[in-house]
Structure 1
Amino acid sequence: MTDPPARPPAEPAIAPRRGLTDRQKDILQKFAALGSLLVLILVFSLTSGAFFTVSNGMTIALQVTSIALLGIGATCVIITGGIDLSVGSVLALSGVVAALGVKELGMPVPVGMALGILTGAACGLLNGLVVTVMRLPPFIATLGMMLIARGVALQITGARAVSGLGESFGELGNGALFRMVTIGDDGFPNVAFPGIPYPVILMAAIALAVSLMLNRSVLGRHIYAVGSNVEAARLSGVNVRRVVCFTYVLSGTLAGLTGCVLMSRLVTAQPNEGVMYELDAIASAVIGGTSLIGGVGTISGTAIGAFVIGILRNGLNMNGVSAFTQQIIIGLVILLTVWIDQLRNRR
């Protein structure tokens, strides 16, 4: 009796190639944005001696606050798979309402600004309801709100600026913490340290709060779930309508707050303020790694993206680059980052 033929040795199993996870892609995009930010700082420090100073750093941080606050709201909306094109117009309407409340109705400044913020929240709620109840595409819904809010702002002001608001109205936008002023030998005040502007402190606090909400709360997990797969989220018991509405209300509220801060800095309410700000907000989110198809994005990445835009504009201004050329450069940066985002999603 012969032995059965020996079996050929089994071929070693080949482990399937695994692509990057969403978290790894997120980190990679964020580090890419951070690297771009450091390169910009290095280049502009070499080309302009006044760039790398404490005073200019505070100026940049103050200029970035509007982009960052709007970008935080835009990030939450985009994570759910939506878009908000109305924030620039809502910003103008909210600032105008706050100014008229203070000047025409005699409201205290905090009450007037609270009214402006509530106006922004109401616009955001309308956006959310139109998207979830009427089921209009977010692009169309927020485009309509963009036109409506701008029209209302121009109508209630007669297309004129609201001025004569008093020094107290400008405290929020122009005040600073830890500001140090010394009196020189000539008797004139010298600013030893410009201080940390109140809008910068507000921006940091809101960024931290929203970041914790996204990463540490059930609501944050639901926002990511809706953006990743809306049908799976619904079948898992997530109230999709409520989650989507919340993101639009948050975006509108932050637009209202940004309007109050910006009008406070100017101590004048301009109904034409905030034009094209929505594009800066979306660009800051995308540069920071937020995916336009939803489900991916972080507040820290958006903050980096906002500083990329702010530093790019500040550095180009210091080097005498015209405003028209700046628009071309920033437009190219946006196209490049969106293209990179598309390549990342295809892979």
Structure 2
Amino acid sequence: MSEASNPWTAGGERRVLIAREQLHRASALLTLLLLIVGFAMASPAFFSVNNGLTVLLQTSVIGLLGIGLTLVIITGGIDLSVGSVLALSGVVSAMAVKAGLPVVPAMCCGVLAGAACGAFNGLVITRLRIPPFVATLGMMLIARGLALQLTGATPISQLGAGFGRLGNGALFRVVEMQPNGFPRVVFPGIPYPAILLLVVAIAATYLLRRRQIGRHIYATGSNEEAARLSGVNVDWTKMYAYTMSGALAGLAGNVLMSRLVTAQPSEGVMYELDAIAAAVIGGASLSGGVGTIAGTMIGAFIIGILRNGLNMSGVSAFIQQIVIGLVVIGAVWIDQVRNRR
């Protein structure tokens, strides 16, 4: 294969691609800033500390799912099962706690359950050659059915304060006791979910930029046949991406259920659309080969702030669904226009 025919070795084409990614990410960042300014003008409470913490907590789940989706989308695939896997993983963690396991090992069981679902997706796609859309749609139904069957469609509650520490705890939180005996929060601290999201985002960025598997993920999505001829194990690369997506969905499930201190088997419905929208808004191409974790983080905050701002403005949940749907369509349309150019 000649250097000119390979977009990952042709310097000119690569520089153009990087410039387009940077432009798209800059436009997404500008959109985020405009949303912040607009909602701040509409509601003075938007810039309050409590609302800022709410946005961080809401965005952490979307961000974790979005990072996993980004890995899959870059390979040229899609994962529609992350919302259901989130629910199943949270249920597995809660059932492990109920069975007597300490909280940390129990949550690890939930993450492993999510990784197993992702690995199953990868096997079906690479071995049975079933399109990712159909394979992950099937897993979406399987995981949701398992979560409902295991719980009898009822929430698992009374999980203890330790189970809620991940979702509701914060680093550097300062609380003082008042003379009346009631505690007062002096500094709310940095929520653990936000710290977890930052760590995962940094690790995923390092993986994509500095590790061989990251280069293989980009190569697979850019031109699968060329990547295979260049010595890339395409099937293993896809397996890795889908397994990571499932594991991060399991981690997001732990965060969400920990916030609720209850395992809800019905949680996570339509979360996959928010995650896909975050990745595409941030510059990931549904055609594969393009995408960054930084862009996905910007997209996740756009979705999170949009939902939060609409809530504060008194917009009904039904109208919010319409708005988010239009955002998803607009993001995909922009992606298609970019690809044609």
Taking structure 1 as the reference length, the TM-score comes to 0.93
Q: Which residue among 151, 160, 167 is the counterpart of 1:173?
A: 167
Q: Which residue among 101, 116, 119 is the counterpart of 2:96?
A: 101
Q: Deviations over 1:120-155 (max 9, x none)?
A: 000000000000011000000000000001101111
Alignment partner of 1:191: what SS? Answer: strand
Residue 64 of structure 2 aligns with an amino acid whose one-letter code is L
Residue 27 of structure 2 aligns with an amino acid whose one-letter code is A
Residue 297 of structure 1 aligns with an amino acid whose one-letter code is G
Q: Structure 1 residue 199: deviation in Å?
A: 0.7
Change (3 A) 1:299 1:275: same
Change (3 A) 1:20 1:336: farther
Asked if 1:62 is matched to 2:65, the reply is no
Q: Which residue among 68, 73, 81 is the counterpart of 1:86?
A: 81
Q: Structure 1 residue 326: deviation in Å?
A: 1.0
Equivalent residues in 2 for 1:121-270, closer than 5 Å: 121-270=115-264
Asked if 1:328 is matched to 2:322, the reply is yes
Q: Structure 1 residue 186: deviation in Å?
A: 3.7
Asked if 1:118 is matched to 2:75, the reply is no
Residue 212 of structure 1 aligns with an amino acid whose one-letter code is Y
Alignment partner of 2:46: what SS? Answer: coil
Asked if 1:36 is matched to 2:31, the reply is yes
Give the distance between the partners of 2:182 and 2:152, measured in 1 at CA. 42
Give the distance between the partners of 2:323 and 2:147, measured in 1 at CA. 31
Identical pairs, percent: 66
Alignment partner of 1:182: what SS? Answer: strand
What is the number of equivalent residue pairs in this alignment? 330
Alignment partner of 2:184: what SS? Answer: strand
Alignment partner of 1:128: what SS? Answer: helix
Q: Structure 1 residue 215: deviation in Å?
A: 0.7
Q: Which residue among 293, 296, 317 is the counterpart of 1:299?
A: 293
User: Considering only CA atoms, is the larger Rg found in Structure 1 or Structure 2?
Assistant: 1
Q: Structure 1 residue 249: deviation in Å?
A: 0.3
Q: Deviations over 1:42-100 (max 9, x none)?
A: 01111111101222112101110010000000000000000000001111111001101
Give the distance between the partners of 1:329 and 1:19, measured in 2 at CA. 35
**What root-mean-square deviation, in Å, do the aligned CA atoms of Structure 1 and Structure 2 show?**
1.4
Alignment partner of 2:164: what SS? Answer: helix
Give the distance between the partners of 2:228 and 2:122, measured in 1 at CA. 17
Q: Structure 1 residue 19: deviation in Å?
A: 11
Gaps of 5+ in 2: 1-12
Equivalent residues in 2 for 1:14-33, closer than 5 Å: 21-33=16-28
Gaps of 5+ in 1: 1-17
What is residue 12 of structure 1 aligned with on the other side?
none
What is residue 9 of structure 2 aligned with on the other side?
none
Asked if 1:77 is matched to 2:72, the reply is yes
Give the distance between the partners of 1:261 and 1:325, measured in 2 at CA. 27
Asked if 1:45 is matched to 2:40, the reply is yes
Q: Deviations over 1:185-225 (max 9, x none)?
A: 54422212211111110000000000110011111011000
Alignment partner of 2:274: what SS? Answer: helix
Residue 160 of structure 1 aligns with an amino acid whose one-letter code is T
